[in-house]
Structure formats: C-alpha cells, structure tokens
A and B are shown apart, each in its own frame.
Chain A
Amino acid sequence: MTSNQTFEERVKQIETGGAEKYHDKNREKGKMFVRERLELLFDEDLSIEDAFFANCQDGSLPADGVVTGIGKINGEQVCVMANDSTVKAGSWGARTVEKIIRIQETALKLNIPMLYLVDSAGARITDQVDMFPNRRGAGRIFHNQIKMSGRVPQVCLLFGPSAAGGAYIPAFCDIVVMVDGNASMYLGSPRMAEKVIGEKVTLEEMGGANMHCSVSGCGDVLAEDEQEAISFARRYLSYFPSNYSKKPKVQETLAPAEFEKTLEELIPENQNAPFDMYHLIDRLIDEGSFCEIKKKFAPELITGLSRIDGRAVGIIANQPRAKGGVLFPDSADKAAKFIQLCDAFNIPLLFLADIPGFMIGTKVERAGIIRHGAKMLSAMSEATVPKISVVVRKAYGAGLYAMAGPAFEPDACLALPTAQIAVMGPEAAVNAVYANKIAALPEEDRPAFIKEKHEEYKENIDIYRLASEMIIDDIVQPNNLRKELSTRYEAYDQKEVTFTHRKHGVYPV
C-alpha cells in the first residue's frame, strides 16, 4: 500500500485478500474465499467488521489474514473469526491474534455465539515474540474459549489445516465440522513426525477429517464440501439459544415421518437380537429434525439434536445394531460431552435405553472403561435440564445407571411393555447363580432346569412388578411414546433445579 492510494483503492485491495495465485490454488481444492464463506454463512452478509485495516501499512497482509465481525444467522446476532488462507496461508501474526481475542471479548460482552472458521497454517514464526508468549498472545485465545465454554455456543468449521497450537481452537469448541479432503488437525505435521520421532505417515492418516470424525473423536461432523459444512452450522445453531441464560426457541410442530411398519412390528421380542434404534428415533421426532452429532464415532451410541412437537430435545440412544449397543470407553466419552452440551444450553434430554451394559474384558479395562463410564454418569447426573429416560427393551447393570435410571433423578423413567430392567439379563443371571448346580445335574436335565430358572427370573424382573413397586413411573405403548414425551417436556419446561453448591466437581476424566 502506498501513501497516495485513495480510500477506495485501499478497501478494494484488502477485500480481495492475497495474491491471485493463492485464490487459484484454493479454488482447485474446492475451497471458497473467506468472504464468500461468510456471505453464505450469514442471513445476509457480515454486518459489522472490525480492524478491517489491520496491518494495512504492510501492504502484503490484507486484514492481517483474518476477518472478524458480527452478522446474523437465523435472525440472531453471532460473532465470527475467519482465517484467510490466501494471506500467508492464514497464519497468525500479532494483529491476527489481537483481532481474534477482541472478537471473543465482544461475544462474551454481548452473550452471543462465537464461530471459528479455521483455515490456518499456524503461527508466523517470524512474529513469535509479538504473538506467542505474551498476555494477549495466542494462549489468550484458548483461555477465552475455555471461559466462554458453556456461556455461549462455540462452533468450529474446519476448512483447511489447524496445526500445532492452532489445533486447540477446535478442541475447545462445542462442535467441530470438518470438510473431507481439506480439513486436518494435528500437533506436528507428517514432516515433523518423520524428523522428530521417525514415523512415516500421510496427513490424511494422521490428522485427516475422516480419521478425526471416526477414530479420535476430535471431529464431530464430516462434511462433503464447504457448502455442506456451512449449512450444517446454520442448522445446528437453530437448536440453541444465544447463551446459557435463555432457552431454545420452540419451532413450528412437524408430524413425524410416516412409515409402513409400526414399532410394535419392528421391535424384536428376543432381547438379544439386533434392533436398529434409528427406527424408533424417526418415529418419535418431528420429520427431518434429527441433527446427528458424531455419527461415525462410537456408533454403538447415537447422539443428536432433534425436535419433538417443535421443542428441541437432545437424544442419547443405545444402538443395538452396532456392537450390541454396549457402552465402550469411546461411547461413554461421546455421551458425556453431548450431555454437557445440551445441559449447558437448556436443551432437554431424552435417554433411549436398550443396553446390555458396559463392555468387559482386558481391552476395555486397560483403556480405562471405569473412569470413562464414570465421566458419562457424572455428566448425566449433573444435568439439570428436563431429563426423561425410556427403557426400550432392556437396561442391564450399570447400563441402567448410565442411561439416567431412576436413581439419577430423571423427571420420569418410562418403559415399553416389553422392557426388562435387571442387574443382568436372564441367561447371564441364571448362569451366575446356578452354575455349580447346573454342572452337578445330569446333562439331559440341564435344559429344563435352566428354562425353569429363566422363567422364575423373568417373573422377578417383570416390568409390571417394577411399575407396581414404583421403580418406573409409567409403562407406555411404543406408538403412544411420542405423545407422552411431548406432554411431559411441555410440563417440565418450568423445571428449575440447582444440582448442588460448590466451586466445581472433581471430574473423573
């Protein structure tokens, strides 16, 4: 930029971003220019932009590589920071960092959501003293994120790399959407991994979108392209209030989708047979309202936002079709974060239990299943939003506890007429109690004895008996479940509970 340029010339230069060759390079990869992304993200466009002229005297760093400001999504004000990868690969200089910190402070003051559109190579090493170790250096971005967590929704859309320290921006967000093929997250690049630890690996294997959304769990949603990622963010925010002191808006009611088969026909009588939980979810919620989170990660547990009669509800459901619906360290971890997310922003919870229990065996014990399970129980127990638990087919052992069983103060624990609740299933129980006796019997007498004990056991845990003992609050026919839930959530809307008074719990993470 030269001193004799007019205002218009300067504005135009900054608005255009980096050199044309970088725009071309991005286009080849299916990447949009940062200002195009923002236009698509907001109802209209970014309405307020601050520090547009940041670093303008340098001349080669338009907006210092990041656009920050405020715009409207679904009619609500939202703050945004968006890296411009045509400017020095979206890297962070001192002013880049200061701009990000300032927009976070604005989001906190206004109590509105903060969106991070990340596409950055990381810190500019040449600027490190000005942007890395100081009080208002990059560390402050993360400190702010942690402070904002649970106050305002924080959403990360990952369009490109998010490297080294920068990888903590997604880590501290409520949700991370990754664009397949372009997005990546890693502390050390493959080049660095080879140099420092001798590992040879591709970027996709080590930090690609698919890996993070299915293996590490650092990514929540895998988007095919940038348009899909942006439209997901708009949809996701429609389930949330702008901050923790408000409730989600109730939307117009939509009837559930119509299906040929009824639930009575679909739910297998045999407790051990696989059942596809999506069939039940689809029949309970407003048509098209399921916004699934972490679909590819730990699929034995389904988590997603939905609406029942227009009201936002967070669903946590065991999926018997995958790994028998058993809880594993990853699924417990997935549940804990999702429950915290919903509870933080006053989204009621629905637990759909069809669970044989937590996984056992060497592999999971070594992976710390006890502490991961404890983490899920903590999150579930602490949640003070309206909380309904439904035993669909079975809830055995600690599975009953994890899925908001009666001891954890759900507002209601309901069961379908065929449901079973017990320390363990009939086969396992009979085996555990009568193993010696069975072994002592002549072989031909064993099946009859086992069958008799099964029947006794089933009577003992009969669902009407549990209802009679008031362990469960009601038995509901599957085809009436939606109506029952809708009525209850409407009534529980007034719920106001403080879990306890203290600084904070010591979490079993």
Chain B
Amino acid sequence: MNEIKASMAGSVWKLVAAEGDQVNDGDDIAILESMKMEIPIPAETSGTVKEIKVSEGDFVNEGDIIAIIE
C-alpha cells in the first residue's frame, strides 16, 4: 500500500486517475493548482488506485493524502 501525498499546499484542480484504475510509477494521479501553477502529483509505485481521498476543488495542505495505491 502506498500513500500519494500532496507535495505542496494548493487546491485539487483535476483528478486524472479514478478508483480502480491501473497506474504505473510516474503516472499522474491528480493535478493541483497552486501559485497559479499546475502541480502534477504522480504515483510513486505501480498498482491499482484503491481510494481517492479528495475531490476536485478541495484545498489540500502539504503532506495530505490524495490517493492510496495498492
């Protein structure tokens, strides 16, 4: 099990992966918007997206869990 965390504070702009998706290491799971920049949040392992913890538009702080990959 691998927790994908927000690398910095910002709002969830786009969810790229959905629960149940197969993802590879390095694939983007979500894109945050922060400091007017798109911040890709990639998977750090390959596997299945077990759970997405946030919705588009949510504020996340650095370190908050965005998704769980199994």
Contacts and interface: CB of A to CB of B under 8 A. Distances in A.
B27 interface: no
Interface in B28-61: 34-40, 61
A14 interface: no
A215 to B, nearest CB: 12
A360 B37 CA distance: 13
What's the dominant secondary structure at chain B's contact region? Answer: loop
Contact of B40 (A274, A326, A328, A361): A274
Interface residues of B, number: 12
Interface stretch (A286-294, A316-324, A369-377, A380-388): A316-324
Interface in A316-349: 320-326, 328
B37 A324 contact: yes
- Which of A320, A323, A359, A425 has the most chain B CB atoms closer than 10 A to its own CB? A323
B40 A359 contact: no
A428 B36 contact: yes
A326 B38 contact: no
A325 B62 contact: no
A334 to B, nearest CB: 16
A363 B60 CA distance: 12
A323 B36 contact: no
A356 B37 contact: yes
A502 to B, nearest CB: 36
A321 B37 CA distance: 10
A44 B35 CA distance: 53
A273 B38 contact: yes
Chain A interface size band reads: 20 to 34
A111 to B, nearest CB: 43
A425 B35 CA distance: 9
A363 B62 contact: yes
Contact of A272 (B7, B8, B36, B62): B36
A357 B8 CA distance: 14
A357 B7 contact: no
Interface in A352-366: 356-357, 359-361, 363
A264 interface: no
A321 B9 CA distance: 15
B37 A325 contact: yes
Contacts of B62: 363
Contact of B35 (A273, A322, A357): A357
A432 to B, nearest CB: 11
A324 B39 contact: yes
B34 A326 contact: yes
A323 B39 CA distance: 6
B5 to A, nearest CB: 12
Counting chain B CB atoms within 10 Å of each CB, the highest count among A273, A328, A361, A425 belongs to A361
A137 to B, nearest CB: 43
Contacts of A357: 35
A357 B40 CA distance: 18
Interface in A255-294: 272-274
Interface of B: 7-9, 34-40, 61-62
Given A274-B37, A326-B37, A428-B36, 4 more contacts: A273-B38, A324-B35, A357-B35, A359-B8
Which 5 pairs across A and B sit closest by C-beta, in order of nearness?
A324-B37, A356-B35, A323-B8, A361-B9, A324-B39
